[in-house]
Structure 1
Amino acid sequence: MKIERLSQDKIRIFLTYDDLLERGIQKDDMWREIPKVHELFSEMMDQAYTELGFDASGGPLAVEVFALPAQGMVVIVTRGKVAAGSEDHILEEDDDSEEDIYEMEVTMEQSDVVMYAFRDFEDVIDVCKKLKSASLTEDGRLYSYNGKYILALEPANMETSRHNAVIAVLAEFGEATSVTYAMLEEYGKVIVASGAIQEICTHFSG
């Protein structure tokens, strides 16, 4: 579980699917009101307070959950006013000494885009060559974001075995990123808008 502060009143938490499995939570459970999810949220808020001094108690929270297909989940928590007319969830944590009540507006978003980050352009070239030579895919979009290169692939039309092979190659050269596709679209710089793997292999074939 990685937690980072985005602003005074906003944090981003990145949960891998291993983080969820360790707690006996399936991906689809995040959409449901169950005790395990309440416990996970309390754990996240405790860690946010310990690491960043982010105090989530005593006020409404807007919680956005983004499910990423290969990497895990991104949870963005914002302190402040819950939007009018939104659905509020009250989470209660049972504790002998005190009782924390979180008033939350929860929104969920799921993305099918697989995204991996690469520190060096050489790694991007290597991963593209390997994906193309293994006839896995020639598609993809390449972005520059926050000092890294991010390759985004939409595996919607791929069969599961090929999809898993693509992720294995991406993981060999890069790392799963906690950036959501919406953030990438808004703040990232597009380097290759489509057919990125083919493009890069064509220009860097040596």
Structure 2
Amino acid sequence: MEIERINDNTVKFYISYLDVEERGFSRDEIWFNRDKSEELFWEMMDEVNEEADFVMEGPLWIQVQAMDKGLEVTVTRAQLTKDGQKIDLPDDIEERRKMFGGDDAAASEFDEFEPIFDEPDLKKLEYTFVFSEVDELLLLARRLMYVPIESALYHFENKYYLYVGFDELLHSESDVKDNISIFTEYLQSSPITIHRLEEYGKPIFKKDALANVLHYFG
């Protein structure tokens, strides 16, 4: 695992999928098994603490970028006090989970924390997918050509990203689930948000991406 200390409150590290597997985790586990993903994360953070002297105090803001051969993780520590005292993270994973994600009162202090590896939320209405060539969208675009889905296409760090959004008035939860299953047949989901793509990516089609791909490339 490669570790880079950015400043006093931010550290970035890269872990390859091979390293993930050598630690006893599979790629599927880190994306779809919450317990395993959290176990891996805190294991990595313990290593970061030892090598980069990055003490975990207070809530953590985490950004994960999925890459071809691994994951790049940026962790920023926020200073937070409670009754004038700094809140330290417990050593036990279960206690950390209660602090960050449980239903008890302590969890409310960490509302802005988001787990880095979470199961796909079929109730949400926005998704991002990553792929290598625009041609990969053709079959998908043909299958969904009559489905009213908001879509945008961006180029970012040598990859293409497709953002899709569903109108809650037009799509039920089951509709979203069915359509997302079609997207995942052709593309890999990505944790990168549309806001990051809009800020740093190069827009190819800012709207109606699927229709435009069919028009220009089909």
Are 2:33 and 1:19 aligned?
yes
Structure 1 residue ranges without an equivalent (≥5): 24-38, 67-73, 96-101
Deviation at 1:106, TM superposition (A): 6.3
Deviation at 1:114, TM superposition (A): 0.6
Match of 2:75 in 1: 77
What code does the residue aligned with 2:183 have? Answer: L
What code does the residue aligned with 1:145 have? Answer: F
Are 2:128 and 1:115 aligned?
yes
Structure 2 residue ranges without an equivalent (≥5): 16-26, 64-71, 94-98, 100-108, 115-120
Are 2:146 and 1:149 aligned?
no
Match of 2:91 in 1: 93
> Do the aligned residues in 1 keep the contact of 2:149 with 2:164 (CA within 8 Å)?
no
Equivalent position SS for 2:196: helix
Match of 1:189 in 2: 202
Deviation at 1:58, TM superposition (A): 3.1
Question: Which has more strand, going by share of residues?
Answer: 1
What code does the residue aligned with 2:60 have? Answer: V
Aligned partners of 1:50 and 1:108: how far apart in 2?
Answer: 21
Deviation at 1:192, TM superposition (A): 0.5
Q: Deviations over 1:64-112 (max 9, x none)?
A: 257xxxxxxx974125x62799x965321149xxxxxx9x976247974
Match of 1:201 in 2: 214
Aligned partners of 1:155 and 1:146: how far apart in 2?
Answer: 26
Match of 2:12 in 1: 10
Q: Deviations over 1:162-194 (max 9, x none)?
A: 211221121111101122333222211111011
Aligned partners of 1:88 and 1:49: how far apart in 2?
Answer: 19
* Compared CA separation, residues 127 and 90, structure 1 to 2 (3 A): same
Q: Which moved more, 1:4-13 or 1:161-170?
A: 4-13
* Compared CA separation, residues 4 and 125, structure 1 to 2 (3 A): farther
- Between Structure 1 and Structure 2, how many residues are aligned? 167
Q: 2:138 aligns with which of 125, 129, 141?
A: 125
Normalization by structure 2: what TM-score? 0.58
Question: Which has more helix, going by share of residues?
Answer: 2
* Root mean square deviation, CA, Å: 4.2
Deviation at 1:45, TM superposition (A): 2.9
Aligned partners of 2:214 and 2:86: how far apart in 1?
Answer: 50
Match of 1:136 in 2: 147
Normalization by structure 1: what TM-score? 0.61
Deviation at 1:40, TM superposition (A): 6.8
